[in-house]
Amino acid sequence: TSGPEDPYRQVKAAFAEEVAAAAVAAARGAGADGLILVAPARTLAPLRAAIGATAPVLDSLAKDLTKSPDAELDRWLEPLERALLRLTPRD
């Protein structure tokens, strides 16, 4: 079966809800204005659904960076940082 009762989908949704709750709590604890999501493409939609309206998603990157060396992370994350700087109101 491949409907909502599919055990794989249930586990995936539960994982997304757990990650979303942790991300929202961390963002609130840090006083952040919202979240930037970086996750494999197949994970982004369930993650966004789990976050819902609990926190704004400021930007996202559909990329699995778990196996990327630390030295390469800036290459992927700097464009997100620049996008956030453009969103920040200037005095």
Tens digits of per-residue pLDDT, 30-87? 888 889 999 999 999 999 999 999 999 988 999 999 999 999 998 998 888 877 766 6
Residue 46 three-state SS: helix
Distance CA 44, CA 63 (A): 9
Give every CB contact of residue 57 below 8 A, 6+ residues apart in sequence: 34, 35, 36, 37, 48, 51
Spell out where 1-91 has E strands: 35-39, 57-62
Q: How many CA atoms lie within 13 A of 88 on its CB side?
A: 10
21 pLDDT band, cuts 50/70/90, is very high
